[in-house]
Amino acid sequence: MYLKRLALRDYRNYESVEFSTEGAVNIFVGPNAQGKTNLLEAIFVLALTKSHRTHQDKELIRWGAESTVLRGELDKKYGPCTLDLTFTNQGKKAKINGLEQKKLSGFIGSLNVVMFAPEDLSIVKGSPGIRRRFLDMEIGQVQPSYLYDLTQYQKVLVQRNNFLKQAYKDSAASGMMMDVWNEQLVTLSIKIMKKRQNFINKLQIWAESIHRGITNGLEALKIEYKPSFAYEDSVEESVLFEQYMIKLSQAKDQELRRSTTLYGPHRDDLAFFINGKDVQTFGSQGQQRTTALSLKLAEIEFIQEEVGEYPILLLDDVLSELDTYRQTQLLETFQTKVQTFITTTGVESLQMNRLENASIFHVRNGELVLS
C-alpha cells in the first residue's frame, strides 16, 4: 500500500496543500505548531474517517471555512485507488474512485495505517482509556463491522445509563424495561469482546516474537485482555449471554445507586507482562517503551496478515523520544517494506544514515516545501 499523493483543502491550518511522495520515507520538518502533525492526522482521517486527536469533526475544518476536503491517491495490490472525504457541519461524505459510499463502513479499510505518537509510549502505564482506544482503532480499520457494533453499543450504553438515573429516582420504573436494555447491552458487548479477544490472540503472536528479538531473547512479553466481565475464551456465546445477564442482575442495586453501567466493553483493559511480571507496576521505563514499540511493530504485521499488504506507518515526533537502540529497531523494521511518514522538529534527532530513499519536506505556517 502506497500513498502517491495527498491533497487538502481548508484542513486545520491549511487553506490548500498537496504533495506527491517521491520516496518510501517522507519526513516533515519544522518548528512546533506549524502543521506537521496535521498532515499525519489527515492521512489517519482518510483511513478511519475520524481523528485520533479530537472527537469533534468540526475542529478539522479550517477557521472560517464551511467544509474541508481530503483526497488521497493510492497504489494498492489490486491497482490504483482514489479516496475522497468531505466534512461539513452537516456530516461527512466519502467516495472511492468517485463513487459515493452510502455507509462509512464501506469506506473504512480502503487505507490502512499504523500511527505511533508520543502518547503511545504511555500505552502501557497510561489510563485504560488509552488502551481501549488502541483496541478500537486497530480492530476497526481491518473489521469495519466492529466500529458499527461499537457505535451501537455506545448508544445503548447512554440510554441505559439514563434509564438507571431515572429508575433510581422513580422506584416504580419498569423492571421489564431494564431487561430490554440488558439484552441489547449484552448482545453488543459479546460481539465486541469476542473481536477484541481474537485481536489480542493474534497480536500476541507477533508482539512476543518481536519483543524477544529487541531484547535478544532475554524477555518474554505476554498481552492479556481484561474484560470488565471475566469469562472463559472458549465458552459458547449462548452460555456467555446467560452468565452476563446474571451478572447484570446481581449488580442491579449497585448500578441503580451509582446510576451507571458497571460492566461492559467501556470498562475493559489490557495488561502486559514481561517474564511474568506486570510491566505497568514493576517494569522499568525502558521495558515500558520496548513493550509499546513491540505493540506498534506487531500491528504492522497483523494488518499485513489480515488484508494482504502492509499499512502506511505514521511516526508523529516519536523517534526523538526513543533511544538510539530502539530507534534502530524501528528504522530497520519499516525501511524495506512500509511506506512511512515522519514528523520532527529537526533531522538531527534522526539517524539519517539509516534512512534510504527519504524525501524531506519543510513545513512552516501551513505551507510545504520539498527540499
Edge-first strand order for the sheet with 91-96 is 14-20, 2-11, 67-76, 79-88, 91-96, 99-100
Are the CB atoms for 27 and 303 separated by under 8 Å?
no
Known binding residue 34? Answer is: yes
Q: Distance of alpha carbon 39 from its chain centroid, rounded?
A: 17
Known binding residue 35? Answer is: yes
Known binding residue 33? Answer is: yes
Known binding residue 254? Answer is: no
Rounded CA-CA distance 199/203 in Å is 6
Q: Which helix (DSSP H) or strand (DSSP E) does residue 303 occupy?
A: helix 285-307
Known binding residue 30? Answer is: yes
Known binding residue 91? Answer is: no
Q: Which has the closest alpha carbon to 45: 28, 33, 59, 25?
A: 59
Q: Which has the closest alpha carbon to 317: 85, 27, 15, 69?
A: 27
359-370: b or e for each residue (b if 16 or more CB lie within 10 Å)? Answer: bbbebeebebee
> Which residue carries 466493553 as its cell?
265
Known binding residue 308? Answer is: no
Known binding residue 285? Answer is: no
Are the CB atoms for 299 and 289 separated by under 8 Å?
no
Rounded CA-CA distance 335/23 in Å is 11
Please state the residue numbers annotated as binding site for ATP: 30-37
Please state the residue numbers annotated as binding site: 30-37
